[in-house]
Structure 1
Amino acid sequence: MPRHQHEHDARHAHRDALQRPPSWWHQRRAGAGPHRSIVEQVCMLKRQGKEVLLVTSGAVGIGRKRLNKQILLSASLPTHVQGNQQMLALEKKKGAMAAAGQIGLISLYETLFSLYDVACSQVLVTASDFKTAQNRANMRDTMLNLLELDVVPIVNENDAVSASPDGTVFTDNDSLTALVGGEIEAGLLMLLTDVEGLYNKPPSQPGAKIISVFRPENSDFKIGEKSSVGRGGMGAKIDAAQSAISQGVNAVVIASGMMYGVVGSIMKGSSLGTLFVANPGVESPDSMSVEEMATAAREGCHQLQALSSEERANILFCIADELKKNSKTILNANRKDLLAAQKSSIDEGLLARLKLSEEKLETLADGIRCIAEAEEPIGRMLKRTELASGLVLHQETASIGVLLVIFESRLVLHKIIVNAVEEATNGKVKKDVIGLVPSREEISNLLRLGDVIGRSTTERAGSEKSLEILSSIASGWFWGLPP
């Protein structure tokens, strides 16, 4: 089943749980920017009437910095010169670091949420809170009461009492998020990390692709090395996502928390990251990801170039004939589009562009025939220069290549045209030579496929800046974190 058929699980989720990437606390120049970004997006969801719970970590990291500073301030000069053994021994004192860091962690979140007049609270949990039914019920009631009171619960493991001297704990933050999401019966759980989703192989390897919808029966992926920070890794996130689904969470998305606006994009139905659902269904052979569409279009481009001028002209004649032959089907579909557009109060100018008629279709077919009857535009000599004896430079016209065209969606027209292409070439050119991107968010995903479209777009369009501009228009956000 294509991913877009599952997107209602995200768009209609009333109660959401988010996990912040643990690596943020270890990025020296990250500052409060990434955390402000997540807080801003959480507040945006609350303005839309959503209930949001945030699972975080970082108390140990903050506490380490605080205690290191305290040790330096209290140490004597000889201790500084000889080396401070207290700082070396600090790594074994996880509980002390967590206790010192909790106040800084919640203070940061309280300050950021207060900028949006949103109340937040701290909920510290340990392994024992999940071991008995009574403790689970108490914890669940506390979090649900906070959500009911329009407060954002910030859940964190209480490392001050759960961390042992060797640093082992009852679980990682991913499984904690899954447990909490199941307890509050979250509709959507987002595991935000520092990579863009689950890849079929380690993302550092060539040809690595993001798996859009996770299917348990598909074992075509490898888990790479875990991050140097945090206790989980992609394997832990997969286990946590499946655990959350088994506990009743409708959908889980693993996506990059480093992309600004990622939470809002996922809530709008964007295909960012990797989606986990209870019944992903069997992957249809007819369904194609945007990456597969882009690859098929490039292959189709080569197939078209291999045809003769007469064969390419025959394709255009066939398309024109099919448009005329199927005019009633096209117009019936267009009437449904117009009714839907009128109900959504679309602009009159756009509505006029969307409207088709017999005259418009006839004009379109005549225009296509004129192109077919015109002189072959490819391979025409434009310039011939003799550079030296026996060395002649020819400048000839060539095909543009693969184009991205933004236009009003006409599904019936697309089907008629691609069928005509395959029929006119007796299968030499497949119907997927023309792909139809289903949504605005998918355009954003398409433009991020630098290994598929980057080379041809950059060479022919001039610079990568055009990709950035198109990407920002398609997604509604500029990539990167806000200042």
Structure 2
Amino acid sequence: MDPTRVFVKNVRRVVIKVGTNVVMKNDGRLAVGRVGAFLEEIKEMNSEGFEIILVTSGAVGAGRQRLKYRRLINSSFSDLQKPQVELDGKACPAVGQNGVMALYDHLFSQLDVTSSQLLVTDEDLKDPDFRVQLSQTVESLLELRSIPIFNENDAISIGSDPCEDFPGIFCDNDSLAALLAMELKADLLVLLSDVEGLYSCPPGDSQSKLIHTYIKEKHEGVITFGDESRIGRGGMNSKVKAAVKAAYAGTPVIIASGLAVNNIKKVLSGERIGTLFHKDAHSWIAFTEVGAREMAVAARECSKRLQDLPSEDRRKILLDIADALEVNESLIIVENEADVAAAHEHGYETSLISRLLLKPGKISTLAKSIRKLADMEEPIGRVLKRTELADELILEKTSYSLGVLLVVCESRPGAMVQIASLAIRCGNGLLLKGGKEAKRSNTILHKVITEAIPDIVGKNLIGLVTSRDEIPDLLKLDDVIDLVIPRGNNELVSQVRNLTRIPVLGHAVGICHVFVDKSANIQMAKQIILDAKTDYPAACNAMETLLVHQDLSTNGGLQVLVEELQHEGVTLYGGPRASSLLNIAEAHSLHHEYNSRACTIEIVSDVYAAIDHIDKHGSSHTDCIVTEDSEVAEHFLHQVDSAAVFQNASTRFCDGVRFGLGAEAGISTSRIHARGPVGLEGLLTTRWVLRGSGQVVNGDKGVIYTHKNLSLE
């Protein structure tokens, strides 16, 4: 649930205003199908105990359509040649009200719901006695589960357009809905429109963005509204005025699309739908309208301040974070347990829950890895190469911070800590988007980490992205964000790569192989494959395919390995040869990541066939050979084109911490920039620093190049 929408858990009475553009089609006819779907949603809410009060527009538009038709068929040809007089503004709603209410009554009766009509005018609601009687009537209707349907009685109303010229208490159905929400003590007012909510400028503008939370102090006077309603009296301007009035009187308001299916349900479940108006919105600025660009720019500014700190000060930030994690361990575990319980309740896959869980000792391990990272050699400004170009002209190639990183994770709250600590050590700003299943864990970890960052750097160094809606905007910021690291399944990585021009570092899947050669020590092979598969089956470096030399199928070695895996509860699926020989189910694909206690097993003729299989079905992550033949081993290690290749060691060793990198931002299968576990070096770039004594090129006439390599000391 979005943190700004938590209040909806206590909502029971809802006033819903249905705009003309929702009730009517563009051609002026009633939108029967759309209204029918909306009323089905209302019926379900009514059954669930919500008290629903409708305010509907549409009478003016419906009446205008019917009267135009009537005038047309009653006109002679000569009448039609004359200038057409505008239809009477009072006659239209008088005629149209019948049609609108007939539609509601018919559709509600099909759903076995009783509705009731209440036509009111501004003069009516000015009368205190009338308002008391009205409230009593509505209470009675709600007790009987009848849906009250309000409309301004435009046929006799003395209101006029525009509303600014009208001295009354409401002048259209938007302001009527706001008044009723306050008068009837509603918990929420929903104004349904034909757009998703309030935009920063007219929705057709390419620069327009949806405002998720309206903040009066920020947005009042700066929003440019589009056209008024095409076929009604209102428009977004009147909706915003009504919303502000109701919200600051104590009734939260959401402007949302009435054209989208089940939007009311989504609003009441706390989803970030439409634009929220709330009297406390100004205090939610951290959760609301810090836009994608603002967040990225703030992270970049903080990263520059971080880079300017002395090395020891940056080191101290990491040590403070490690201490803070340990001090707040119990609080972090409580939030993580809540995420895990919710994941079980939602029926998430076991592999995802496994990655989500912060196991006992995990916080201590993370703190230890951060301290190790702090004690590593200073990465920023390290001289990698020094060259004398000419006399007193010295060129240095130095390491330098990348700038701003965007990391998109599924589950893995522990990864957030590792990535944040790596970013800080390298002087980078960071934007983090965790999966919704780890929301509480990520929120508390982000709070603990950022509170340890001194004000001289700024808490915005690490931004926590709370909504998936912000990801597409962030991925467009190739002028502010320097590297994207997606950590999740193939679908996530593919989506990120397709949506951005920013360099992407990571891997889509981890289909790791272990090839057991004919010369392998079977006892060693057994230990390696069991560890590679069962130590942490959900990890990307876990074995997913076991390849076995065909000779082991005749000397008993294959049977030993199969029995050991089955004894440990591993479900085996076979390739074409193994499934037939072992009488096991055939794998539906040889390119499959199980992330569980399951794997594919296949029989190959030799090391060449094993390499060919890995080339065709692998993911260039981590692949291992178990063999005592050094010549076969070297051929495998040189020919398998993966980020990590091992001999006689579990694939689970492919890890930033185990490699001594201190931590890892992820494992990359790219061939550019960084490959394998990505630690400090993978989050740095280089730049050239040239120190001279007044030299100029001048067509290279006055420079004698020496290009001499110099010591780094």
Q: TM-score, normalised by structure 1?
A: 0.70
User: How far apart are the structure 2 equivalents of 1:226 and 1:39?
Assistant: 28
Per the alignment, residue 246 of structure 2 pairs with 244
Gaps of 5+ in 1: 377-397, 466-483
User: How far apart are the structure 1 equivalents of 2:105 and 2:90?
Assistant: 23
Corresponding residue SS for 1:224: coil
User: How far apart are the structure 2 equivalents of 1:61 and 1:21?
Assistant: 11
Letter paired with 1:252: V
**Per-residue CA shift, 1:374-402, capped at 9, x if unaligned?**
999xxxxxxxxxxxxxxxxxxxxx89942
Per the alignment, residue 183 of structure 1 pairs with 183
Per the alignment, residue 464 of structure 2 pairs with 436
Deviation at 1:268, TM superposition (A): 2.5
**Alignment check: 8 A CA contact 1:186 1:249 kept:** no
User: How far apart are the structure 2 equivalents of 1:134 and 1:13?
Assistant: 28
* Match runs of 1:47-446 below 5 Å: 47-76=47-76, 78-79=77-78, 82-83=80-81, 88-89=84-85, 91-162=86-157, 171-198=171-198, 204=205, 206=207, 210=211, 212-215=213-216, 219-222=220-223, 224=225, 226-229=227-230, 230-245=232-247, 249-277=250-278, 279-280=279-280, 283=283, 287-289=286-288, 291-292=290-291, 295-297=294-296, 300=299, 321-322=319-320, 324-337=322-335, 340=338, 346=344, 349=350, 350=353, 353-358=356-361, 361-362=364-365, 365-366=368-369, 401-405=405-409, 406-407=434-435, 408=438, 409-418=441-450, 422=453, 427=456, 430-437=458-465, 442-446=466-470
Structure 2 vs 1, CA of residues 115 and 372 (structure 1 numbering), >3 Å: closer, same or farther?
Answer: farther
Per the alignment, residue 13 of structure 1 pairs with 11
Deviation at 1:355, TM superposition (A): 3.0
Structure 2 vs 1, CA of residues 157 and 312 (structure 1 numbering), >3 Å: closer, same or farther?
Answer: farther
User: How far apart are the structure 2 equivalents of 1:272 and 1:22?
Assistant: 20
**Alignment check: 8 A CA contact 2:119 2:153 kept:** yes
Structure 2 vs 1, CA of residues 56 and 358 (structure 1 numbering), >3 Å: closer, same or farther?
Answer: same
**Per-residue CA shift, 1:325-353, capped at 9, x if unaligned?**
34532421233225645876845953784
Corresponding residue SS for 2:42: helix
Deviation at 1:49, TM superposition (A): 1.1
Corresponding residue SS for 2:149: strand
Corresponding residue SS for 1:332: helix
User: How far apart are the structure 2 equivalents of 1:239 and 1:15?
Assistant: 22
Deviation at 1:447, TM superposition (A): 4.1
Per the alignment, residue 463 of structure 1 pairs with 498
Larger Rg computed on CA atoms = 2
Per the alignment, residue 477 of structure 1 pairs with none
Structure 2 vs 1, CA of residues 322 and 35 (structure 1 numbering), >3 Å: closer, same or farther?
Answer: same
Deviation at 1:59, TM superposition (A): 1.3
**Per-residue CA shift, 1:80-103, capped at 9, x if unaligned?**
7x5366xx23x3323332233223
User: How far apart are the structure 1 equivalents of 2:341 and 2:498?
Assistant: 40
Deviation at 1:288, TM superposition (A): 4.5
Deviation at 1:33, TM superposition (A): 4.7
Structure 2 vs 1, CA of residues 8 and 113 (structure 1 numbering), >3 Å: closer, same or farther?
Answer: same
What's the RMSD between the two structures over aligned residues?
4.8
Deviation at 1:65, TM superposition (A): 1.8
User: How far apart are the structure 1 equivalents of 2:258 and 2:154?
Assistant: 24
Structure 2 vs 1, CA of residues 325 and 134 (structure 1 numbering), >3 Å: closer, same or farther?
Answer: closer
User: How far apart are the structure 2 equivalents of 1:353 and 1:373?
Assistant: 29
User: How far apart are the structure 2 equivalents of 1:323 and 1:164?
Assistant: 62
The higher-RCO structure (CA 8 Å, 6+ apart) is 1
User: How far apart are the structure 1 equivalents of 2:31 and 2:442?
Assistant: 47
Letter paired with 1:250: T
User: How far apart are the structure 2 equivalents of 1:167 and 1:207?
Assistant: 26
Bigger strand fraction = 2
Corresponding residue SS for 2:213: coil
**Alignment check: 8 A CA contact 2:198 2:275 kept:** yes
User: How far apart are the structure 2 equivalents of 1:320 and 1:374?
Assistant: 14
Identity of aligned residues (%): 27
**Alignment check: 8 A CA contact 2:299 2:404 kept:** no
User: How far apart are the structure 1 equivalents of 2:476 and 2:292?
Assistant: 15
Gaps of 5+ in 2: 380-401, 410-433, 485-495, 501-713
User: How far apart are the structure 1 equivalents of 2:468 and 2:284?
Assistant: 23
Structure 2 vs 1, CA of residues 290 and 221 (structure 1 numbering), >3 Å: closer, same or farther?
Answer: closer
User: How far apart are the structure 2 equivalents of 1:270 and 1:28?
Assistant: 32
Deviation at 1:62, TM superposition (A): 1.3
**Alignment check: 8 A CA contact 1:223 1:234 kept:** no
Letter paired with 1:237: K
Structure 2 vs 1, CA of residues 411 and 159 (structure 1 numbering), >3 Å: closer, same or farther?
Answer: closer
Per the alignment, residue 20 of structure 2 pairs with 22
**Per-residue CA shift, 1:94-121, capped at 9, x if unaligned?**
3332233223212322343345433222
**Alignment check: 8 A CA contact 2:36 2:107 kept:** yes
**Alignment check: 8 A CA contact 1:201 1:222 kept:** yes
Q: TM-score, normalised by structure 2?
A: 0.50
